[in-house]
């Protein structure tokens, strides 16, 4: 994970091409682990999953992968809230 400590706020970026073609499950794991790490700094994370499309406007493989990843992240969050 990379950290950008800027006057406008802190930004943490995970998996900047560390994994060549991660699965939705791997991406969900990366997102959850990154959020947990950011919480250790006393910061409540906001997670964004990036693709080339806007708000799900594309049905390409990469956009579909991000939608599936989001579902998995939400499932994990729901399980941890129980």
19-66 pLDDT tens trace: 899 999 999 999 999 999 999 999 999 999 988 877 667 888 888 999
72: enclosing H helix or E strand: helix 61-81
Model confidence, pTM? 0.84
| pLDDT given for residue 56 in this prediction | 67
Given a cut of 80, whether residue 70 has pLDDT beyond it is yes
């Amino acid at each position: 994970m990379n950290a950008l400590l800027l006057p406008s706020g802190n930004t943490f970026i995970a998996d900047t091409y560390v994994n060549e073609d991660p699965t939705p499950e791997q991406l969900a794991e990366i997102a959850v682990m990154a959020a947990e790490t950011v919480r250790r700094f006393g910061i409540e994370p906001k997670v964004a999953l990036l693709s080339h499309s806007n708000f799900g406007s594309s049905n390409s493989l990469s956009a579909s992968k991000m939608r599936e990843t989001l579902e998995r992240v939400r499932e994990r969050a729901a399980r941890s809230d129980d």
